[in-house]
Amino acid sequence: MPPRLIDSLTTTAPLAEIFSDESVLQALLDFEAALARAEARAGIIPQAAADAIVSAANAAAFDTAPMAAEFLRAGTPGIPVVKALTAKVRAADEHAARFVHWGATSQDVADTALVLLLKRSHPILSADLARLENALAALSEKHRESVMLGRTLLQAAPPVTFGLKVAGWLAAIRRSRARFDSACAEALVLQFGGASATLAALGDKGIEVGSAIAQDLRLADPDAPWHAHRDRLAALVVSCGVLTGCLGKMARDLALLMQGEVAEAAEPVGDGRGGSSTMPQKRNPIGSAVALAAANRVPGLVASFLAGMPQEHERGVGGWQAEWSTISGVIQATGAALASMAEAAEGLDVNPTQMRENIAAANGTVFAERVAMLLAPTLGRDRAHEMLQEAARRSELQQRKLGDVLAENPEVTQLIDSATLRDLETPESYLGVAEKFRQRLLASSGAQKEDK
């Protein structure tokens, strides 16, 4: 389903579908159906009752419209859903209705449903991560020799390669993916504890039933219920915050590279993407804007989740009730950022010619460090630094090449030959181990093996 208008910049259609009313209700009902099946196998409730409960646990048969108000009044989705399911079962089998939600508690339903929604979200995020990683690996390899200005504190600095910059994005995203996948795997656990997290209502069959539910729903079976222990979910939320921050870093770089006076890269356009309502010539960084919006929003949601972790005794008040919208917001914002940056990377236009022209426009001043390092062994670091500062100022004021300014200084020409000064502005000769770093970053992210 398409997202609501007000949510359109904060989610994607697949994630909006997962967190839609019908999908959320079905996740709640899936727990109840799995509970009934497990209890029937354990001989706790009649098989006929379980069959009736499973048959009724279909979200399409319920009206979700009035449920939100009932959730609010009950303080949990569990109570209204159990009430509605019981009524649906009763209409078909009066006796079976007695066994709906047998031995469980409302938080068992809510937490397990949330985990099921996370389980269904993971493949969507993973697919967009794979798209992004593949696109970045290809970009890095294609532009391994595309020299460009390095930029420190937003000022021109010695050259790097676009391939190295992209490899840095990719490696950070891959590290974030590893954390996200690990946290997600750890968080996909059943919640089943009953009233006080002892399953006392099921006698000595609590563990048997819990294991069966977990197997049915394809969730991990925890050592014990975790009603007031939210660390697994917290780790997942935090991992999304880090991943979104890495996507935001990439987006920030791309948005800056798209500035008209820079013009070194541009996101794809077409189908209503990247245009302006008033300026036909504009090519806006729309994917970057969506990712940056997510990177702005998610840290607050992460903080909100962490603030709710100190929960009272066996089951808290207010903490876990705040989590549904928080986690939904985090997952959907992360997904929107991922999809946007994957699309941007797959269609990115890179302009190596403009990159080289921007280096040339610096008139060689970005190579001042190179000259200073040649002079420092004889003149000393401080004197060499002072001399290059003055030469760089003259170059900028007079709009002359740094090499030409330095060629007029006898102190320089005594130590550096004219051929070296002429070669001063060749960016390829001052890249250090940029390519080795690029290869190492790609190797560490699984994209390729380092050349030995």
Question: What residues act catalytically?
Answer: 276, 315
Look up residue 14 and give its amino acid: P
Q: Which residue(s) pair with 157 in the sheet?
A: 150
| Spatial CB neighbours of 227, under 8 Å, sequence gap ≥ 6 | 107, 111, 191, 193, 197, 311, 314, 315, 316, 320
State how far the Cα of 210 lies from the Cα of 207, in Å rounded to an integer.
Answer: 5
| Spatial CB neighbours of 169, under 8 Å, sequence gap ≥ 6 | 136, 246, 249, 250, 253
Burial class (CB in 10 A: 0-12, 13-18, 19+), 337: buried
- SS3 at position 284: coil
What is the sign, positive or negative, of the torsion defined by CA atoms of 293, 12, 302, 307?
A: positive
| Spatial CB neighbours of 168, under 8 Å, sequence gap ≥ 6 | 441
| Spatial CB neighbours of 288, under 8 Å, sequence gap ≥ 6 | 251, 252, 254, 255, 258, 267, 340, 341, 344
